[in-house]
Structure 1
């Protein structure tokens, strides 16, 4: 078998991104079938891409070799478990669940079934981040001393999205926390500060701007800054300093040209994550398909998702209490476990 037949569940914003990639940008995958809780949406997508559709997730599983889950967060864990029970490997958007116990149960179901679970931490598959990670892990940077990353949206999402997002750190900072673990190592302390410039966020008990300070178990320090409404565009950049070199990944411009007038040079900025990460989103699904074909573990697995969510929860507690949260990551046979917190 040279291509994996992947069924796509969920056709919202991220689902549409995956739809286009599975339909023509992943050499090791073929789009087998689409499903959405709204059958009209599924039928329309199927007609647009000339693929079968279904109104049942069980029928989707019958029509594919593996499944990509891009449905609402609350449905992730049950669908992952259903896929595992059917013997299907799963690509799942983050988080596996907003509830830790449900996330652990879903990951354990996958492990018992002997299938694969890859979670949508797309930066691990972006060409810039992947190239920097290879050189860092090969030792070219020396000992890491400092980590800095920024993630800033151009405009805030609607209030209707915020109520089901899981909160700022779970929805936004979790990507940066995963990158921190991937590039530097395990985190032993989280100290988060947050503010709500938008009164609507404050009314909902959430924030739109945050700074998170990290301590890593190797002694390095880290700083994360996040904003839901930077205004000027979408930015995602990272810098890792070491004793031998520094790696910097800047936010790319949308186009390769620059417009110059007297005293001014201007370039277009990207507006959102879709414009920033077109290659990463295709690459993560291609990597998933290749993992299924070769039966190899994905770069971003279920235990990575739980670890990042645990760190996001620690950041939430730190923000609410105003105090740092100390952690004691343990290496187990299954992976890193952040469930043990060091008493204050």
Structure 2
């Protein structure tokens, strides 16, 4: 029996989740949809042949669990409301751009005893999962160097930037979460950024960044990010250890290679949905298992806060031009 999940928020990522819950997930299904824009809710409900509701409270009443993909400012309040109703929550990152609000949401779920899983999809991609398992088993040896790239093909609409939380909170936070997951806690962050596109500078933001990490273990890390790589969407990672190196290359979305004299071409993914055809469904299936059997989420609210803390440190470093040290949990 699959778990019925109510979906709140039907923007771009919400519709990704709707498609997966309707057709790709093995352990969860789309039970009902809600959006503050009732026209959007009616449209998606009709497209996926599911009910829609006019309020989040109604969604909580109808569903065994909820997935929150609404605007960032609503994440913490809706999570707290779901916790009060005893309904498990899957929430897109970030829980909040305000740390106190994010912590309040996490504590509300902990006190209510309901599961809270946050949407860091790379933790569910088969390649990253396989690498993480072998690193955790000791096959890599001691980590020496972590390197990752995350590059969007096209820049977002400038109107989005004012509410994004800034480059490091919106983009780099994924890499920072992976860094903690694969290599352990981060002790120092040094970030450098630039705005080649005037639209980013006008919003006091950047479109390109390099972040250097020093882990508590002494290992080093390098992250490079871009909002407008133009050639395609890229996400690749490498972890070098004393016994082996794990490398996750950027895959091509199709197997076709077109060869002409002196050249061979293959296509690149255009966006995160095309790059991660399995991860978004897998994270919702994992959430459904948490709901069904009470197992702990693979990505917790406190993981989300830790990644956001690192993004805040990167922002501080970029603005100040100084390395930022962090308290490492004992």
TM-score scaled by length of structure 2: 0.99
Counterparts of 1:49 and 1:272 in 2: how far apart (Å)? 23
User: Any residues of structure 2 matched to 1:257-276 within 5 Å, and which?
Assistant: 257-276=256-275
Counterparts of 2:43 and 2:192 in 1: how far apart (Å)? 44
Counterparts of 2:329 and 2:125 in 1: how far apart (Å)? 28
What is the CA distance between 1:278 and its match in structure 2? 1.4
What is the CA distance between 1:163 and its match in structure 2? 0.5
Counterparts of 2:131 and 2:2 in 1: how far apart (Å)? 29
Partner residue, 1:128: 127
3-state SS, counterpart of residue 273 of structure 2:
helix
Runs of at least 4 residues off by over 3 Å: none
What is the CA distance between 1:3 and its match in structure 2? 2.0
3-state SS, counterpart of residue 142 of structure 1:
coil
Counterparts of 2:151 and 2:30 in 1: how far apart (Å)? 32
3-state SS, counterpart of residue 316 of structure 1:
helix
Q: Deviations over 1:178-216 (max 9, x none)?
A: 000000000000000000001111111100000000000
What is the CA distance between 1:252 and its match in structure 2? 0.5
3-state SS, counterpart of residue 156 of structure 2:
coil
Residue 291 (1) aligns with residue 290 (2): yes
Partner residue, 1:281: 280
Partner residue, 1:198: 197
What is the CA distance between 1:4 and its match in structure 2? 1.2
Counterparts of 2:18 and 2:2 in 1: how far apart (Å)? 16
Counterparts of 1:328 and 1:48 in 2: how far apart (Å)? 48
Residue 38 (1) aligns with residue 53 (2): no
Q: Where does the alignment leave 5 or more consecutive residues of structure 1 unmatched?
A: 332-344
3-state SS, counterpart of residue 179 of structure 2:
helix
Partner residue, 2:149: 150
Partner residue, 1:59: 58
Residue 313 (1) aligns with residue 304 (2): no
Partner residue, 1:6: 5
Partner residue, 2:238: 239
Partner residue, 2:79: 80
Partner residue, 1:167: 166
Residue 229 (1) aligns with residue 214 (2): no
What is the CA distance between 1:239 and its match in structure 2? 0.2
What is the CA distance between 1:78 and its match in structure 2? 0.3
Q: Deviations over 1:275-310 (max 9, x none)?
A: 101100010001100111110111111000000000
Counterparts of 2:118 and 2:325 in 1: how far apart (Å)? 26
3-state SS, counterpart of residue 210 of structure 1:
strand
What is the CA distance between 1:25 and its match in structure 2? 1.4
Q: Where does the alignment leave 5 or more consecutive residues of structure 2 unmatched?
A: none
Counterparts of 1:311 and 1:80 in 2: how far apart (Å)? 22
Partner residue, 1:141: 140
Q: Deviations over 1:65-122 (max 9, x none)?
A: 0000000000000000000000000000000000000000000000000000000000
Counterparts of 1:138 and 1:80 in 2: how far apart (Å)? 34
Counterparts of 1:5 and 1:280 in 2: how far apart (Å)? 19
Q: CA RMSD in A?
A: 0.7
